[in-house]
Structure 1
Amino acid sequence: MAQPGSSHPLLDAVRNGASGTELQEIDLPTRFRAAFTRKDEVGIFEGQTDKDVRRSLHVDEVEMPELAPDECVVAVMSAAINFNTVWSAIFEPVPTFAFLEKFGRQGWYGARHDLPYHILGSDGSGVVVRTGEGVRNWKVGDKVVLSPFFVDEEDHGSYDDGMMSESQLAWGFETNFGSLGEYCIVKANQLIRKPKHLTWEEAGSNILCAATAYRMLVGSHGARMKQGDVVLIWGATGGLGSYATQLVRNGGGIPVAVVSSAEKAEIVRSQGCEHIIDRSQLNLGEEGLRHPKAGRVLGEAIRSLVGEDPGIVFEYLGRETFGASVYVAKRGGKIVTCGSSTGYRHEYDNRFLWMRLKSIIGSHGFNYHEAVEINRLISLGMVHPTLSKVYDLDEAGEATRAVQTNQHVGKVAVLCGATGEGQGVDDPAMRERIGEDNLNRFRR
């Protein structure tokens, strides 16, 4: 087992800013440290109410896999925890080893992924240290952030929209070799230029949530928000909601943020959101937002703030909130959903959907173009990171536990190759113009 803080000449060279030529001349290590789950531990949480991910997430050495022609090896400087890391670590709704086994049946390319361990992580930043022989547009030494959607460019569906490809997968969740390690393996069409004014941990914590929110609200496949739209945002200080609030404001919409405490309300207010509902102050009774009359109470609160019902409801909480979301949307309004973190089986009164001509839009992930577009906004300083806390790789279990138990706001990062916070900034002048208050709002 590698000791915490141990290194390899290649990783040291990346940390020291070596050129691409210098990196190419250093041998790739045969093993590296990463955070992973183990196939022989599937089932350890059966019958337990507290499925503590610190029991199932391990940090140890793993084998460096063979590189395919369309892939790159990236030295990961920082990764981020998303809720799919929690699902992987509790082996629900299905153990992710089932995904790896299925992928493994697709020949050599997929068989590399079918291992007795699963390296997790779907967000990250780092430096390209090897490219496959078929990679044309990227080179060793490039500083990148990573898009988590793994799309087969030979699948015809990907040419309409990458998310319509039947073979698309969530990297680090439905594939192996994710970002929670000193190195990761990605396809070349997962690479995006790193924003120069951000640190490694800031840059590596954005894409999954920010691009998901972009597709839901702004892209041509979601709600297609326009100026003046009132948008109800559930969980406005969460990973998704924290970017949704920024996108609505930037696009001329009117965000109505739902939070669960006065402290979280203050964070949203500091983002420039004027209209905030603290759901802990709503008189909803024991059933909470699932009570049949909860939608009426919430609707009155929204109208008291903005004078009308929301045209768009930004949904990802699922069972607890979905009935209220359908109710409060205005006639002809849209409920755009990308998840169900409180439960997959939703109940709502269908009369309020069909008789008022509302629409439910299913939105999953994002395509490569949408990932590049949101990263452009981040690179321009128009959208800011929402990072709140940073852990070391050895603390990957603790970081995931913080997300599992909702003891966080915004995003949580894990330093993998970076030796400390604050590294990786290439444009300090731009950073100064944007201001540390904007970049560190969720860390105050």
Structure 2
Amino acid sequence: MQAIRDAILSGDRTQETYANIEIPASYRGATVHKDEVGMFEGLATRDKDPRKSLHIDEVPVPELAPGEALVAVMASAINYNTVWTSIFEPVSTFGFLERYGRTSEFAKRHDLPYHVVGSDLAGVILRTGPGVTKWKPGTEVVAHCLSVELEDAEGHDDTMMDPQQRIWGFETNFGGLAELAIVKANQLMPKPSHLTWEEAASPGLVNSTAYRQLISKHGAAMKLGDRVLVWGASGGLGSYATQMALAGGATPICVVSSPEKAEICRAMGAELIIDRNAEGYRFWNDEGTEQNPREWQRFGKRIRELTGGYDVDIVFEHPGRETFGASVYVARKGGTIVTCASTSGYMHEYDNRYLWMNLKRIVSSHFANYREAWEANELINRGLIHPTLSKTYTLEDVGQAALDVHRNAHQGKVGVLTLSPEPGLGVTDPAKRAGFEKAINRFCNQ
């Protein structure tokens, strides 16, 4: 492993160098254990601690299948799916691995008593499997997290519709929070040359998810001039949605939960901001059993105060149960509520009169297909959208990193160094970076 690290740090990217490096028999990765699935039974979700369930284990390097690549991972990042995996909610991910393992001989590799997690990476290709022609050892890459088989017709219009669509590192094994990772070749994308390893690793999942949800024809298809309500506008998903709205000529109305998060939104260029804690919105009673439509009305009134009397064209939804009733209410007549997650609960409730009688649409969105992920990565590469990395941990501290995200004690994205020995490495185009330095560092140490 040290030889791999040394080669990457040397700057040598020749194919021969990496093709001749010996692949170790094992590597370190962040794992959850199948025999610990019940460890948090009886605890409230908020009290489940990823530091207790995430382990750093030495695990065997799997055999490389056709169409796959083995990547030396320099950095990764935490997503909410890692939190779900680590607290075994809403279900244990070992069920995903078991079902996947039954589909083919190569898929059996994934059904193990441990799960190497993580759905982001930036690193260097070490090996490619049979049939891979586009990617070569020594190439710097990032990876998106869509794993597909594409043996069914349904996946060939939009790969997200593949019946065998899975999220790598969540519904598959050998994820990115590790020194090595296995991905399919059609997950690979070029690493932006002006970014560090940890910066390049951080956008993958959330940037692509926000792109499909907000920009793509499969999502809200945002257009110039739209007013977009963004929940959690300084968070992992919301920070990219905010940037995309601004870059695309739309007007974001940013919902945050603290003055510090409001300042981050202003630094991105947003002007219309609602601090929902400061303004005391309580959409549910204390028992969480009944919603308060008067609070929806008060929230809608506040939005119109900010927009000069207009309701929003698009609601960028991901909190789920806590906010969904309000989201349906505040969208304009004919507007769109686009949802990609339910971090506060999956059982959404809303008053259907405000939906059907006002011809609003609820659109579901889940991650992104390869084309959408590639286009989202290209926005990063061109400096139209920037990473929102706020803090970086070592692999040994991955449990604390996941806890930060679990408790919403972070801004933007939380990174994790894997093979990279320190932050700040990996920039190969400093001149390009110089033009974006301030924007890249907006979230740092927040």
- TM-score, normalization by structure 1: 0.97
Residues 150-203 of structure 1 show CA distances to partners (whole Å, capped at 9, x for unaligned) of 011323222100111111000000000000100000000000000010000000
User: CA offset at residue 24 of structure 1?
Assistant: 0.9
Letter of the 1:407 partner, please give it: A
User: CA offset at residue 389 of structure 1?
Assistant: 0.3
Q: Which residue of structure 1 lines up, in the alignment, with residue 371 of structure 2?
A: 369
User: CA offset at residue 422 of structure 1?
Assistant: 0.6
2:281–2:299 CA contact under 8 A, matched in 1: no
CA RMSD of aligned residues (A): 1.2
CA distance in 2, matches of 1:286, 1:24: 57
Residues 223-242 of structure 1 show CA distances to partners (whole Å, capped at 9, x for unaligned) of 11111111000000110000
Q: Which residue of structure 1 lines up, in the alignment, with residue 37 of structure 2?
A: 42
Q: Secondary structure at the match of 2:66?
A: coil
Q: Secondary structure at the match of 1:101?
A: helix
Q: 1:181-330, aligned counterparts within 5 Å? A: 181-285=178-282, 287=284, 290-307=291-308, 308-330=310-332
- Runs of 4+ in structure 1 deviating by more than 4 angstroms, as ranges, are none
Q: Which residue of structure 2 lines up, in the alignment, with residue 110 of structure 1?
A: 107
Does 2:143 correspond to 1:146? Answer: yes
CA distance in 1, matches of 2:267, 2:385: 14
Residues 310-356 of structure 1 show CA distances to partners (whole Å, capped at 9, x for unaligned) of 01000000000000000000000000000110000111110000000
2:283–2:293 CA contact under 8 A, matched in 1: no
Q: Secondary structure at the match of 1:371?
A: helix
Letter of the 2:3 partner, please give it: P
Residues 205-238 of structure 1 show CA distances to partners (whole Å, capped at 9, x for unaligned) of 1010011111011111011111111100000011
Q: Which residue of structure 2 lines up, in the alignment, with residue 16 of structure 1?
A: 10
Letter of the 1:260 partner, please give it: S
Letter of the 1:292 partner, please give it: P
Q: Which residue of structure 2 lines up, in the alignment, with residue 83 of structure 1?
A: 80
Q: Secondary structure at the match of 2:273?
A: strand
CA distance in 2, matches of 1:272, 1:371: 24
CA distance in 2, matches of 1:284, 1:29: 54
384, 387, 392: which one aligns with 2:386: 384
Q: Which residue of structure 2 lines up, in the alignment, with residue 354 of structure 1?
A: 356
User: CA offset at residue 22 of structure 1?
Assistant: 1.0
Q: Secondary structure at the match of 2:173?
A: coil
Q: Which residue of structure 2 lines up, in the alignment, with residue 167 of structure 1?
A: 164
User: CA offset at residue 27 of structure 1?
Assistant: 1.0
Does 2:427 correspond to 1:439? Answer: no
Letter of the 2:331 partner, please give it: A
What percentage of residue pairs aligned between the two structures are identical? 55
1:14–1:23 CA contact under 8 A, matched in 2: no
User: CA offset at residue 109 of structure 1?
Assistant: 1.4
Q: Which residue of structure 2 lines up, in the alignment, with residue 122 of structure 1?
A: 119
Q: 1:323-342, aligned counterparts within 5 Å? A: 323-342=325-344
Letter of the 2:60 partner, please give it: E
Unaligned segments of structure 1, at least 5 residues = 1-6
Q: Secondary structure at the match of 1:192?
A: strand
User: CA offset at residue 13 of structure 1?
Assistant: 1.8
Unaligned segments of structure 2, at least 5 residues = none
2:283–2:322 CA contact under 8 A, matched in 1: no
Aligned residues: 437
Residues 256-309 of structure 1 show CA distances to partners (whole Å, capped at 9, x for unaligned) of 000011111011001100100111122435837942212111111110011200
Residues 344-395 of structure 1 show CA distances to partners (whole Å, capped at 9, x for unaligned) of 0111110000000000000011000000001111000000000000000111
CA distance in 2, matches of 1:345, 1:299: 23
CA distance in 2, matches of 1:125, 1:293: 47
Letter of the 1:11 partner, please give it: R
User: CA offset at residue 69 of structure 1?
Assistant: 1.3
420, 428, 431: which one aligns with 1:429: 431
CA distance in 1, matches of 2:34, 2:282: 43
19, 22, 28: which one aligns with 1:33: 28
User: CA offset at residue 9 of structure 1?
Assistant: 1.9
CA distance in 2, matches of 1:12, 1:155: 42
Letter of the 2:225 partner, please give it: G
CA distance in 1, matches of 2:230, 2:124: 35
Residues 26-62 of structure 1 show CA distances to partners (whole Å, capped at 9, x for unaligned) of 1111101110000011100001231111111000200
- TM-score, normalization by structure 2: 0.96
Relative to structure 1, the CA distance from residue 285 to residue 78 in structure 2 (aligned partners, 3 Å threshold; closer, same or farther) is closer
CA distance in 1, matches of 2:65, 2:9: 25
CA distance in 2, matches of 1:363, 1:10: 38
Does 2:203 correspond to 1:179? Answer: no
Residues 66-95 of structure 1 show CA distances to partners (whole Å, capped at 9, x for unaligned) of 000110000000000000000001111110
